[in-house]
Chain A
Amino acid sequence: MDYLLHIFIVSLIYAIFAISLNLELGYTGLYNFGHVAFFGIGAYTSALLSLAGCPVTLGMVCSMLLSGGMGALLAIPALRLSGDYFGIATLSFGEIIRLFFLNERWLTKGPMGLPGISRPAWIDEGVTGLPGYLIFCILLTLVVFLVTRHLTRSPFGRALKVVREDEYVAEALGKNALAFKIRAVMVGSILAGLAGSLWAHYISYISPADFTLTETILVLLCVVLGGRGTNWGPILGAFMILFFQEIIRFLPIPADFDRFVAPIQGMVYGAALVILMLKRPEGLLPEYKE
């Protein structure tokens, strides 16, 4: 039962993470391959503040602000590049942030990571706090869902789609395409920061190894599988992928092959992403109906 609660909590955190990427990938058409950096910035900010004695909620707000600020800082120069080049810039940004976590030991304790991150004061530590944390996650996911739904149904969301479909048309119609893209990345980064912060306070120990390209691919897969450019898609995708990941644990794999499971998993995700993009780019919940 506790295990099920755990899967639900992690799925919800990934749902928020996927929603944040969907804003960039699904609505604005930006392939951000360094999105995990903002998850990481959120996690580290929140963890460091909380370890320094700052209340968890204040830490969460700070982590969102810092992630959003860093998002703008990345977006403003990187979005002057187009298409694939933007992808490459974000990929390297993700790596830069991971190396920062790894090497700036005075701040992040390097590869040792940060243990002992506490949960909000009103939620118990350990297993007894699981239901409380689950409710906390459900509420936040709901808020994030409603906020992004409101945003994407607004003229702002429509303008993002115009930029996605055709940047020249957007400009010809008086829309500053660059400004819309920057705002999309900023909002996406703020929400990714929230997801990272929730992750840190839940798992209570973070290290640079948690914020690698693998995580970006995982969340990319959640968005593409669920259906990019939709409100429910990323949530569905996150639950499917995370549950699938946990089910693998119960497969009868001989002890000798255990060490192969993790790398094979990565390959499977990569392959799944490629196949989806080729065969069903609209995902399980398509954005538009024929």
Chain B
Amino acid sequence: MLKIDHVTKSFGGLMAVNNVTFQLDDTGITGLVGPNGSGKTTLFHLITGFYKLDRGQIHFKDKRISGLPPHVISRMGLVRSFQQTRVLPFLSALENLMAASPAQAGEHLSSVFFQPRRVKREESRNKERAIQILELLKLEALGQHLAGRLSFGQQKLLELGRVLMAEPKLILLDEPTAGINPTLIRQLVYVIRELAGKKIQFFLIEHNMPLVAEICEKVFMMDSGSLIFCGTPSEAVQNPRVIEAYLGSEDHVA
């Protein structure tokens, strides 16, 4: 599905991602862990085209995606969320979702003017889907609210909903549970698990190790830009390098 091949990225003298190679097969939920500053988010930026790689290649579904602009990669079915929530504050929650519908004819000027009926049909279909997703996230009562007025946790959920709306094959989530309360975490986990069975794969950066152990089938671990571990969560917590880099050392905890 996703193949990362000798990927390297440095900022000045800092090696943010150093010669990383791994492959994501058909695992439902894969975790990416590692201390702060280990290069996880940079790797996400590289995969989704927001950063250009210095060296290496990335393939998605056997097509090379490294070097393509972010919107092209997104259209191929590889959609991400952001570490800091980025809802569209002055659009309603419903509009936030509808805007994410993929391949909308109504985004072309010619269709807007010459195929208004088609655009209208498409819009009502997209609205229906958006409402379904709001219901899945239990946000249906907030559809007309401005997204910027929702609570932080609700914004996180909305952002996940927006990613789902884009009909992805592989979803990259950057710290989906950071800073939200336990009830919402359970809801998020429920949604991710619900969907992971339905031809959608998840790849997520997560600091909450018990949660990673609970939901991920496979875990990758990065430290100082390099990949240092790959295996199941139960193997991870016993691996001495993982314990040294992450679990056992307090200096790395933010």
- What residues make up the interface of A, taking CB atoms closer than 8 Å to B? 150-151, 154-156, 158-159, 161-162, 165-166, 168-177, 180, 183, 187, 287-288, 290
Contacts and interface: CB of A to CB of B under 8 A. Distances in A.
Interface in B66-93: 69-72, 74-75, 79-80, 82, 86, 88-91
Contact of A156 (B70, B107, B122, B162): B107
Given A165-B88, A173-B74, A154 B162 contact: no
B100 interface: yes
B100 A173 contact: yes
Given A154-B112, A155-B107, A183-B109, A172 B88 contact: no
B86 A169 contact: yes
Contact of A166 (B50, B69, B86): B86
A171 B69 contact: yes
Nearest to B48: A172
A146 to B, nearest CB: 11
Nearest to A166: B86
Contacts of B105: 155
Contacts of A150: 112-113, 116
A162 B80 contact: no
A187 B112 CA distance: 13
Interface of B: 48-50, 69-72, 74-75, 79-80, 82, 86, 88-91, 95, 98-109, 112-113, 116, 119, 122-123, 146, 149, 162, 166
Contacts of A162: 88, 91, 99
A151 B123 CA distance: 14
8 contacts: A156-B108, A156-B109, A161-B88, A162-B91, A168-B70, A171-B69, A174-B79, A187-B109
**8 tightest Cβ-Cβ pairs between the two chains A and B:** A155-B106, A174-B74, A171-B70, A165-B88, A174-B75, A154-B112, A155-B104, A173-B100
Given A154-B112, A172-B79, 5 more contacts: A161-B90, A161-B99, A173-B79, A174-B79, A187-B109
Contacts of B95: 158
Given A155-B106, A165-B88, A288-B146, A176 B82 contact: no
A110 B79 CA distance: 55
Nearest to B70: A171
A4 B123 CA distance: 44
Contacts of A161: 88, 90-91, 99
Given A173-B162, A174-B102, A165 B74 contact: no
Q: Most chain-B CB neighbours within 10 Å: which of A150, A156, A288?
A: A156
Nearest to B100: A173
A136 B81 CA distance: 50
A155 B104 CA distance: 7
A141 B74 CA distance: 39
Contacts of A159: 99, 104, 107
Nearest to B90: A288
A187 to B, nearest CB: 8
A162 B70 CA distance: 15
A40 to B, nearest CB: 25
Q: Most chain-A CB neighbours within 10 Å: which of B75, B88, B106?
A: B88
A159 B108 CA distance: 10
Contacts of A287: 90
